[in-house]
Structures are given as structure tokens and as C-alpha cells.
Amino acid sequence: MGVPFETLLPYGVILVMFGITGGALGGLQHMQNGGKRGRHNTDMWDRVRVPIGFLEWRGLMLTSLQQMMDRDRRLTGYLRGQSDRVEAAPGYELNSAWRCEKRFL
Amino acid sequence: MTAREPRFNHHVLVDTTPLPDHIPKVKELGVSSAPLMSASFFIGARCKPYNDDYMKCKTEANGRGELDCMREGRKVTRCAASVLSDVNKHCLAQFRAHWQCLENNNQQMYQCRFYERPLNKCVFDNLGLEKVIPGTPEGTVPVHLREKQIFQRKFT
């Protein structure tokens, strides 16, 4: 006596929903990394924690990033952007951020 | 002033005041992290005296190195820029292939030996800079010259 197919419908729903979630998260990660594989295992080569408000102002929503990656963002405009031009664009030498306390601003 | 720990995570100050005129200007490097990683050993091969000079100056400046060693720092920047412009001029295709591979593989050199060998050869032929890994033990083959490699992501 076989199992009626209605029994398996919830499992189908579960599978489809996992698929949608995974696809959406993978697509989001792909988008955030600019189509490249993600960085992982990044060391303490100055883990700079930039306040979230600053990142929102720059149009990014990540909470912690590395100094070199932050430098890439200052150079190219994207956290994962890369460029091999020898001289920086004008204005780069002045857009470094000083982290300071509220009372000094 | 007080024993209170400073908390530097509150605000970000971007100061756009340019350098005063009595400080000579040098253009900052525009290469980002992966190309710098790719060219690092060639920069080291040509610029080691300048880099050592700068580090020695900073060590001896007792915490005022950022101000007192700007002359040495400018030399470091100019030397690295000369290496990078030479690499860009002679070996741009190999350089791009290598740093794009690095960028796609978490900037791990061992994943990209396939693209590194032509770059090393081109740079050695055209610029005369050879990649030497400092601190390699005597009598062993340096890691970038080994024929066989076990741990590497399959790609081409």
C-alpha cells in the first residue's frame, strides 16, 4: 500500500523554501563580493571596525572590515574593488578617516 | 589626562585639509591590495634599502617617526611607484592574471602559482628583479619554485 503523494507535499515545500533561501543568500553574497569569491580567514592586519553610521553613509552595510579592504574601498569605491593604477586618484590622500570620540568632533 | 579608556568607535572624522606647502608632495600609490600583494616581492627586491632606512628612522625617532621620517617615507613611496609602473609597462598581462587570481582566491599565493611563474619570469627578464622569499632555509627549494604541490584549489 503506497503512501499518497499528499504526504510528501510538505517536504517539497520545505525543500523549495530552503532552495529559495540559499539562492537568495548566495546571490546577496555574490553581489557584496562583486562577483568574486568571498574573503575568509582574514587576519588582524588591522581589523578596523568602522561605525555603522559611517558605512551607511558610504552606502555599505557591513560591520567590520580590514584595513586593506577599507583602503580598497577608498581607492575604488567598492570594498572588493581592485585597481592597478600606479597613482591614486586626486583626493585619495585626504579621505582617510580618523576614528575619534564624540567630544572631539 | 584621566584613567578612562578612550573609545574610538564613536565617530569618524574625515579631515580634508591638504598638507601645508612646505612639505614636498608625493603622489600616493593607487594600487589596491591584490596588486600590491602580487608585486610585493618585486617591490622588496628593488626597494629594500629604502624600506629598511624608513623602518630604522622610525625606530630611532622615539614615536615621532610619522613627522620626522617623512623624507624617508617619500622615498619608499616613490620607489614602490617606480616598480609598479615598470611592471605595468612590461608585464601587464601576466600581472593582471596573477592579481585577479589572487583576488579570487582569498589573496593566498599558493593558489596562484600557475599565474605567478610567468609573472616572475617576465619581471626577471624585463626588470631584473627576482622573487626571493626572506628566511628560506638553506638547501631547500623555495616554496614558489617547487614542482609538486598538494594543497591547491583546482582551477584553470
Cell numbers linked to B3: 584613567
The pLDDT-based confidence of A52 (bands split at 50, 70, 90) is very low
A100–B13 C-beta distance less than 8 A = yes
B33–A71 C-beta distance less than 8 A = yes
Cell numbers linked to B153: 584549489
A94–B32 C-beta distance less than 8 A = no
Task: Report yes or no: A82 at the B interface, CB cutoff 8 Å.
Answer: yes
Nearest to A81 among B11, B13, B32 (CB): B32
Residue B1 pLDDT more than 70?
Answer: no
- A82 vs B contacts (CB less than 8 Å): 32-35, 99-100, 103
ipTM of the complex, rounded to two decimals: 0.80
**What is the longest distance spanned by two Cα atoms in chain A?**
78
The pLDDT-based confidence of B8 (bands split at 50, 70, 90) is low
Under 8 Å between Cβ of A82 and B34: yes
Task: Report yes or no: B141 at the A interface, CB cutoff 8 Å.
Answer: no
Q: Which DSSP string do the residues of chain A spell out, in sequence order?
A: -PPPGGGGHHHHHHHHHHHHHHHHHHHHHHHHTTTSPPP-S---S-EE---HHHHHHTT---S-EEHHHHHHHHHHSSTT-----SBPPTTGGG--EEEE-GGG-
A71–B32 C-beta distance less than 8 A = yes
What pLDDT does residue B149 have? 86
What pLDDT does residue A23 have? 97
List pLDDT tens digits, range B45-99.
999 999 999 999 999 998 888 889 999 999 999 999 999 999 999 999 999 999 9
Q: Write down the domain spans for chain B.
A: 33-131
Cell 591590495 maps to which residue? Answer: B33
Residue B134 pLDDT more than 60?
Answer: yes
Q: How many residues does chain B have?
A: 156
Bridge partners for A48 per DSSP: A65
Task: Report yes or no: A43 at the B interface, CB cutoff 8 Å.
Answer: no
What pLDDT does residue A62 have? 37
User: Which of B23, B30, B119, B19 has its CA nearest to residue B81?
Assistant: B30
Q: Which of B2, B11, B86, B90 to mutate to test the interface with A (most CBs of A within 10 A)?
A: B11
Residue A50 pLDDT more than 70?
Answer: no
Residue A56 pLDDT more than 70?
Answer: no
